[in-house]
Structure 1
Amino acid sequence: MDATATGSPDHGTGTPTDAPGGPATRGRPRDPGRDAAILDAAVDVLAEVGYAALTMDAVALRARAGKATVYRRWASKDELVLDAVRRLEHQQVPVDPLPDTGSLRGDLLALFRPEPAEETARRDRAAAGLVSVLSHRPELAGAAHRSLVGPWAHAHRTVMARAVARGEVDPGADVGILAQVLPTMAAYRALVQRAPFDEAFLLAVVDGVLLPALRPPAAPPR
């Protein structure tokens, strides 16, 4: 348990604990494991109560950490929630390493990794909790898009760029835009349509939308 879980100050090198929102001090080294626990707690609280009702205190309590510990890492609720959602999405992308099947279709299909229904529901509830506030906080829209779509779009852009290098994809194709198509459609499907991201949906988008848009143009008839 973190030393601040009971409200007492951290004790590391004797440096005073920084106040919430204040500059970081030279206390004990930051523990990545503690970061992960706080972000997981933020996801759970976000999924349960939504963005508006989420508080730093509630996240700290769920993570068994002190409020000062949370504020040393994230200066605001916005930063904490966006990082939590970003981490959640990154956990779904098989980036170590990305699939390399030798074909773009194979790579795009291999990126799809079925997960337990319970975990899917948890992720979708957390994402919905973030999306629900965008009508009131439009300044968060760009950051929310990067958190929800960014990790998948980056993976798609990477496998598409490899396909361009192999000569499999039209070098004039707008890979930057097309890499966002499936992640954005998946987010809309999950958050607005409340429909599952399943293999049938994946095949429909890959075979019916992405591959036709990325193929080199056909040679004109002689």
Structure 2
Amino acid sequence: MTQLDLDPTNTRAADDTAAEPARLGRKRDHSRDADILDAAVDVLAEEGYDGMTIDMVAARAKAGKATLYRRWASKGELVIDAVACMKKDDLDLDRLPDTGTLRGDLIGMIKPRTLEEAEKKLQVMAGLMSVLARSPELSDAISQAIIEPRAEVNRILLRRAIERGEIAADCDVDTIALISPSMAAYRTLVLKKPVDREFLVSMIDGVILPAVGIRP
């Protein structure tokens, strides 16, 4: 990264510093930056990474550009922190449905608010497609914020089904847990279709349950 890239007076140069976003593990007081990070996520979902600018985020957050540049030296750094903070909306793993059946638990996870949050996260992922291949740090952040939370929920529900003897103990939990988040991403990014209740139920009954040996 050059000195020009870090110059807060050079908006275009800072915005274009996408190839090598820096300091993924950088610690900040996210409660203090919450409005800016939320605004960055909104702009990213609407405009995509290439169309997003620091000016847009500052305007959406009602903050001065200097405030943003004091905390993030480039657009890439801001996006990484914004995506990482999307995890604050993760599902409460201590309050998952417990209906007594795997199908009931999976269906119980399909709620309007959950669908809205998942759709927004996938829109963010779509907005980042142009930069993912050349930014491994951003790819990791996207996986942890968008794919991993849903996969972890599925792993918990599958292990619970194994414990109660509903499915076989040698079930490939890790692979099956990735089916629905992966297909949801494909549906949004490639097919340009919404991830709605009908789609998710069809995934549960037509793919996931047969994969674990349950006839719906």
Q: TM-score, normalised by structure 1?
A: 0.68
Aligned to 2:58: 60
Contact 2:30–2:85, Cα closer than 8 Å, also in 1? no
Contact 2:171–2:212, Cα closer than 8 Å, also in 1? yes
Cα separation, partners in 2 of 1:187 and 1:136, compared to 1, 3 Å: same
Match for 2:187 among 186, 189, 202?
189
* 1:167 aligns to 2:165 (yes or no): yes
Aligned to 1:210: 208
Aligned to 1:40: 38
By percentage of residues, which structure has more helix? Answer: 2
Whole-angstrom distance in 2 between the partners of 1:175 and 1:86:
25
Displacement of 1:180 in angstroms is 0.9
Alignment of 1:109-148 (within 5 A): 109-115=107-113, 122-137=120-135, 140-148=138-146
Contact 2:43–2:52, Cα closer than 8 Å, also in 1? yes
Q: What value does the CA root-mean-square deviation take over the aligned residues?
A: 3.4
Displacement of 1:46 in angstroms is 0.8
SS across alignment from 1:149? helix
Whole-angstrom distance in 1 between the partners of 2:99 and 2:85:
26
Identity %: 49
Question: Which amino acid is 2:128 matched to?
Answer: L
Moved more, 80-89 or 197-206: 80-89
Structure 1, unpaired ranges of 5+:
1-20, 217-222
Q: TM-score, normalised by structure 2?
A: 0.70
Q: How many residues align?
A: 189
Q: Larger Rg: 1 or 2?
A: 1
Moved more, 187-196 or 60-69: 60-69
